[in-house]
Amino acid sequence: MTDIRISMNYALDALWWKLTSQPVRDLASLLTAPPLWQSGCELSVRELLGELGFRYLLALDADPAPLNEHLAQRAPFGHRLGIYAEELLAFWFANAPHAKLHAYNLPVFSDGQTLGAADFVVSLNQQPYHIELACKYYGGNQVQNLRGLNPKDTLTDKAAKLVQQSQLLHTPQGKATLAAQGLPENPLPASIVRGIGFFPHGFHAFEPPLNPYGWRGVYIQDWAEYGFERQEARYHLLDRMAYLAPARVAETETLNATEIRRIDQGLIAVLELRPDGFWHEIERIMKAV
């Protein structure tokens, strides 16, 4: 049985002691992290990984060249985390033993106007799916007020949009697009919702649609709100493109408690030194303004 503490702080999962390649770590987080909120059609980790998924991830970590080459062919990503995440999953669906990638970023039109685009049409163990991906990092002191570092980006709006996107291929135009492209008809709608919910210390009101067992971090607006109780900890300001997986960084990339207090806004990894000589994330902070 999974330790509830670990399921709420996904950075403590044993997986992060094993994987060393950054793109493979990012891919693993997309495949195995708990959903931030409940869409009603979450794709399970078991379905995403398949029977051989962990072995394949470990093999990729030992030789990440195929994944690195795939990403290099599609870079740059314009500092857009969502596009990078989509390319990681596209590689997985095209190469994992139990998966087949039929289409991704599939546009659907109506009278010359774009209704939207389906993130992925894939088969997992021969079952066709229409999969929508969302990777979000929201903080606040109430579920209904959760928002990103960009305050216009809210969980309420994104959750509603995801439901709408998931029905795209069930519209007449969506069905016509599938038929015209020779794609599987009636794929099951499914979501992959990843990210972190950041809350003040002592917050326990995990109301729907929030997943009570999602990956959690600490939300602060002033550094005085953070206790700095770990004497040996160091800190790392995360680049947006490094949000997906728990941080693993060299000491030269870390800051001390005095230095991190100068950061006005951003996502910050709290780090501990592990036997591999790298500093590993054990907690994440959203510093808002």
* pLDDT tens, position by position, 179-195: 999 999 999 999 999 99
pLDDT per residue over 79-121, tens digit each? 999 999 999 999 999 999 999 999 999 999 998 899 999 999 9
Please tell me the predicted confidence (pLDDT) of residue 86: 98
pLDDT of residue 3: 41
pLDDT tens-digit profile of 43-61?
999 999 999 999 999 999 9
Determine the pLDDT at residue 282: 97
In angstroms, the CA 134 to CA 166 distance is: 11
Task: Tell me the two tokens of residue 216.
Answer: 């959690």
Q: What is the pLDDT of residue 126?
A: 97
Quick check: 144 and 42 in contact, CB under 8 A? no
Owning domain of residue 156? 4-287
Burial of 184 (0-12, 13-18, 19+ CB in 10 A): buried
Q: Residue 270 is encoded by which pair of tokens?
A: 């709290």
Alpha carbon distance 252, 150 (integer Å)? 29
**pLDDT for residue 1:** 33
Taking alpha carbons only, the member of 264, 267, 269 closest to residue 289 is 264
| 3-class SS of residue 136 | strand
Q: What's the mean pLDDT in 118-141? A: 98
Average pLDDT over residues 128-144: 97
CA–CA distance, 21 with 287 (Å, rounded to integer): 27
Alpha carbons 190 and 122: distance in angstroms, whole number: 11
DSSP class of 176:
H
CA distance 73 to 174: 29
pLDDT value for 6: 44
* Predicted pLDDT of residue 8: 79
CB 100 within 8 A of CB 93: yes
Q: What is the pLDDT of residues 183-232, one digit of tens each?
A: 999 999 999 999 999 999 988 888 899 999 999 999 999 999 999 999 99
> How many folded domains does the chain comprise?
1
Rounded Cα distance, 45 and 108, in Å = 28
What spatial distance separates the first Cα and last Cα of the chain, rounded to whole Å? Answer: 39
Per-residue buried b or exposed e for 76-102, using 16+ beta carbons within 10 Å of the residue's own CB: eeeeebebbbbbbbbbbbeebebbebb
Q: Report the pLDDT value the prediction gives residue 5, as an integer from 0 to 100.
A: 43
One-letter identity of residue 223:
W
SS3 273: strand
Contact 177, 106 (CB under 8 A): yes
Question: Which pLDDT band holds residue 35 (cuts at 50, 70, 90)?
Answer: very high
Mean pLDDT of the chain: 95
CA 8 to chain centre: 14
